[in-house]
């Protein structure tokens, strides 16, 4: 299908972008269904709450980005076709997907649904929901500001890659990774599973490693990024790192 941008028209959502929308809708649904299957029951009220919060933050944020910049969502849906994916990037993406999305529901299903190893109190629902919403705002804001917010780490010379220093990028250099880290850590808090924090921590560690490696690539290969890094000192956590 020809890209409408080639005809001078406003870009529209194509099949890859639609697959991203479908995926961001099915993601939270799949997580919760897996949790229910492992738990052996649908009677996990906090999982239902997570489903609402997850769909609102993940799918809702993607809808906003698709309306504002459909071509970015199209490009995010085409990431598997990239021939220039760095080996370390592919490995870290797999680790984050496994320990950020698929392993936690299985562990949390065993924990809160079947064996009741742990039970975090009502405070964790409030904290987890707040952190998940903050993560969603950060990721959505970053994608709305940064048209280069693709899935893989690469210098996008084919798209006129330039430094983005507005919005959340005026505070930290990788707000999307902070948002994704908050997603991973807040999900077990919403569900109320202390054991779910173990795979979440592994997912966050993968993102921290990716932050470091991506920053090194950008400083070496993207002009003016080193100067931007001197102005915006912190990669992930304001005032810390």
190-233 tens-digit pLDDT? 999 999 999 999 999 999 999 999 999 999 998 899 999 999 99
Does residue 211 sit within a domain?
yes
Q: What is the pLDDT of residue 24?
A: 96
Averaged over 25-44, what is the pLDDT? 96
**CATH of residue 68:** 1.20.120.1630
First-to-last CA distance in the chain?
Answer: 44
The tokens of 191 are what?
Answer: 């569900």
Q: Please report, to the nearest 10 degrees, the dihedral formed by the alpha carbons of residues 22, 25, 31, 35 taken in order.
A: -120
Does residue 127 sit within a domain?
yes
The number of folded domains in the chain is 1
Does residue 5 sit within a domain?
no
**SS3 state at 162:** coil
Per-chain mean pLDDT for the chain = 92
Does residue 6 sit within a domain?
no
All residues at 6 or more sequence positions from 189 whose CB lies less than 8 Å from its CB, including other chains: 120, 124, 125, 127, 128, 131, 197
Does residue 236 sit within a domain?
no
Packing angle of the helix pair 60-68, 70-77 (nearest 10 deg): 120
Please report which confidence band the pLDDT of residue 7 belongs to, taking 50, 70 and 90 as the band edges. Answer: very low
Does residue 123 sit within a domain?
yes
Domain residues for 43? 11-231
Averaged over 33-41, what is the pLDDT? 97
Does residue 1 sit within a domain?
no
Q: What is the pLDDT of residue 79?
A: 87
Does residue 2 sit within a domain?
no
Closest by alpha carbon to 194, among 82, 144, 119?
119
> Apex CA 101: angle with CA 166 and CA 240, to 5°?
40
Does the pTM surpass 0.85? The reply is yes
């Amino acid at each position: 299908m020809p890209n409408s941008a080639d005809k001078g028209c406003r870009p529209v959502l194509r099949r890859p972008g639609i697959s991203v929308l479908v995926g961001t809708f099915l993601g939270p649904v799949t997580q919760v269904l897996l949790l229910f299957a492992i738990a052996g029951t649908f009677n996990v009220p906090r999982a239902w709450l997570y489903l609402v919060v997850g769909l609102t933050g993940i799918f809702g944020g993607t809808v906003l980005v698709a309306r504002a910049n459909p071509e970015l969502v199209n490009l995010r849906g085409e990431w598997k076709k990239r021939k220039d994916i760095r080996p370390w990037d592919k490995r870290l993406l797999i680790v984050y997907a496994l320990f950020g999305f698929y392993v936690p529901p299985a562990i949390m299903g065993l924990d809160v649904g079947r064996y009741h190893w742990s039970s975090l109190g009502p405070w964790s629902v409030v904290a987890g929901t707040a952190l998940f919403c903050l993560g969603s705002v950060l990721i959505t804001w970053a994608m709305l500001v940064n048209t280069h917010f693709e899935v893989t780490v690469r210098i996008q010379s084919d798209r006129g890659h330039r430094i983005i220093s507005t919005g959340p990028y005026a505070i930290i250099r990788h707000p999307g990774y902070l948002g994704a880290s908050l997603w991973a850590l807040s999900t077990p808090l919403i569900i109320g599973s202390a054991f779910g924090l173990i795979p979440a921590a592994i997912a966050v560690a993968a993102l921290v490693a990716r932050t470091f490696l991506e920053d090194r690539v950008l400083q070496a290969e993207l002009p003016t990024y080193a100067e931007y890094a001197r102005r915006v000192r912190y990669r992930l956590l304001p005032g810390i790192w």
